[in-house]
Structure 1
């Protein structure tokens, strides 16, 4: 079976429009998490990563009428457009489109600015696909916070099955009142920028962003990143709380490494979910120790972006791809001292290291977990 590769990509976030701008911001240690007043849920407001719609509209004016699309649709369209700009010969009749999101246009609830059916995920996907002229019906992947990574796995599976020649995986979510109130009801929102795995962490920070990546069998670059395999498992522990033993994540990782004949010490880098909530970080630390990954350099990108829900694992996979290509480990920003019961090798500053294999993990509500293995291949 031919291997598929992570090809062109784009990240649209408060840190920049395009992957290059995002990587430059991360190199500078810049975080998207700023203070925003929101008197509905908090007198003092919240820290979050939010993109002003005015900036989005200015960028969108170059390709279409921003008044015809919701904020999230515009973000996802901009991300896909960048990927298409880098691949002018891509045949859309043979290319699939997979959209990953958790809540879609939920911010439009009750506003009556667009037809009510735009609240449905399938309709949002159709609107985005129609903008570009994709000939085949788009696929929606919405499985809590593993959605972005699961969409990449789905893309690989559909290409391998012969349904598409290539696939663009695109995703996005917004910081909406609906989402913010939900996490606030759990008392899970941090009063300061989130601090994954730290002893002084106080919860998550939310963020909004969109991303897109082209998946396919042709990796013509001298150095390219291959999708090796991914494994999912559900611990069926609780509708929102993770397993205290990390069982689902442990099964995902252990089964993946076993299927790929990979030993834990061969992994050069581990990109964790790292939400900075008490139970998530502890669960991950336990699972990583159970699978022998406690010495592998690990980070969380949530301190840069906040939790971007259905696009978080997609963005973090793109950043992991570039870590492999650049032989660079990015610091887990805002980390202070370890606040989990098991040892982890948290990356405290950007460092260069020869890398070949990376593991991306994600976990989400309902007990879903995913582990994905990426490999750098070099043509002699």
Structure 2
């Protein structure tokens, strides 16, 4: 199977409306999380990453009528727009469109407002993006819990290798809603303060809202250093509807199979971008799977303390960050980590590092229903 090459990208989040803005905040350790003593989502305090709706609407007004689109749609359309303005010659008649989300416009269950009930359908979200920009091919919607954003890249790779199209725009997004926040709260999984992935005193996740988009293709750019998706694998541990495997079996298998497809051993991996939600069981499971894979000493991080858990956007955002870490030879720190709180020894990065050669980086993700994903990104040097 041929590699998938990662080209232009965009992240829309509380810490920036471009990828470059996001990277600057990651380097400086600036978080997008805020504490809300009382919010529209929950009567008890939460800490979350929330986009200012008015700022978003103002930014969106440059390309469309904000009143005609939901907050989620505005985020995702803005992300795709940045990709397209950088690629004015992109043939939208032949370019694939792959959309990643977990819940889409689920907030409309509470109040449809000016929108029709069809807006609740995930397929409709794909059609809205397709029609807004004039794509021709039927959009593919990927919704597989919290691995969705990364799985969308894997789907793009498989579709391109199958000859369905040569290029694709992959876009992912989710927004906060009462439905989502109260759901996670029912698991007693939310933290009132900024999350602390892999720390002994971690006490839950922060939720976040964001969107991201990336142009991918089957060919690299000439005379450049290019990042490709060289291996990917997904396995379901079938442990529990919401609880991860105690042995990390599904993620372990995903890591092993992604390394196999990339044709490398664990020694080639120079950094790991984890899922790292800061819940008691996810972090423990991930640490076990990483240690079982021979990666316990490999530098790793989680960026959830910058964004919160952005659900269907998270693994796509984190894949974009992997790309830029590799291009810039840098690793962004895990915020708020203090003392290791998992049973296996892992190497959590706590300070910004640069001048590090990252030829291969592993990205992991896990989600409800026992789903797990691992992706191996490779740095390739292209000649003319």
TM bin (shorter chain): over 0.9
Q: 1:249 and 2:251 equivalent? A: yes
CA distance in 2, matches of 1:376, 1:290: 25
| Structure 1 partner of 2:32 | 32
1:110 offset after TM fit, Å? 2.7
Q: CA 1:154/1:184 → structure 2, altered by over 3 Å: closer, same or farther?
A: same
CA distance in 2, matches of 1:259, 1:112: 45
CA distance in 2, matches of 1:59, 1:69: 13
1:166 offset after TM fit, Å? 0.4
| Structure 2 partner of 1:336 | 338
| Structure 1 partner of 2:93 | 93
| Structure 1 partner of 2:378 | 375
The one of 306, 309, 313 equivalent to 2:308 is 306
1:254 offset after TM fit, Å? 1.2
* CA deviation profile, 1:123-182 (whole Å, cap 9, x unmatched): 111111100011111010000000000000000111111111201000100111110000
CA distance in 2, matches of 1:9, 1:255: 27
CA distance in 1, matches of 2:90, 2:218: 13
CA distance in 2, matches of 1:261, 1:124: 37
1:39 offset after TM fit, Å? 5.5
CA distance in 2, matches of 1:129, 1:91: 13
Task: Judge conservation of contact 2:104–2:122 (CA < 8 Å) in 1.
Answer: yes
CA distance in 1, matches of 2:373, 2:316: 12
* CA deviation profile, 1:25-62 (whole Å, cap 9, x unmatched): 11111011101243576544211000011111111111
SS in 1 for 2:45: strand
SS in 2 for 1:150: helix
CA distance in 1, matches of 2:192, 2:65: 37
CA distance in 1, matches of 2:238, 2:337: 30
| Structure 2 partner of 1:48 | 48
* CA deviation profile, 1:292-339 (whole Å, cap 9, x unmatched): 010110000101100000110000000000000000011111111110
CA distance in 2, matches of 1:280, 1:117: 34
CA RMSD across the alignment? 1.2
Q: 1:83 and 2:98 equivalent? A: no
Q: 1:355 and 2:330 equivalent? A: no
How many equivalent residue pairs?
380
Task: Judge conservation of contact 2:36–2:45 (CA < 8 Å) in 1.
Answer: yes
SS in 1 for 2:110: coil
Task: Judge conservation of contact 1:41–1:184 (CA < 8 Å) in 2.
Answer: no
| Structure 1 partner of 2:167 | 166
- Worse-superposed segment, 221-230 or 353-362: 221-230
| Structure 1 partner of 2:143 | 142
TM superposition score normalised by structure 2: 0.97
| Structure 2 partner of 1:153 | 154
Q: 1:3 and 2:3 equivalent? A: yes
Q: CA 1:59/1:300 → structure 2, altered by over 3 Å: closer, same or farther?
A: same
1:258 offset after TM fit, Å? 2.7
| Structure 2 partner of 1:12 | 12
CA distance in 2, matches of 1:75, 1:257: 34
Q: 1:291 and 2:293 equivalent? A: yes
SS in 2 for 1:38: coil
CA distance in 2, matches of 1:259, 1:57: 43
1:256 offset after TM fit, Å? 1.9
CA distance in 2, matches of 1:44, 1:154: 39
Which 4+ stretches in 1 moved above 6 angstroms? none
Matches within 5 A, 1:228-267: 228-267=230-269
CA distance in 2, matches of 1:213, 1:142: 17
CA distance in 2, matches of 1:208, 1:86: 24
The one of 321, 324, 333 equivalent to 2:323 is 321
In structure 1, the gaps of 5 or more residues are: none
CA distance in 2, matches of 1:9, 1:194: 27
SS in 2 for 1:17: coil
CA distance in 2, matches of 1:30, 1:236: 37
CA distance in 2, matches of 1:7, 1:296: 26
CA distance in 2, matches of 1:81, 1:98: 15
| Structure 2 partner of 1:276 | 278
| Structure 2 partner of 1:108 | 108
SS in 2 for 1:16: coil
TM superposition score normalised by structure 1: 0.98
CA distance in 2, matches of 1:180, 1:38: 12
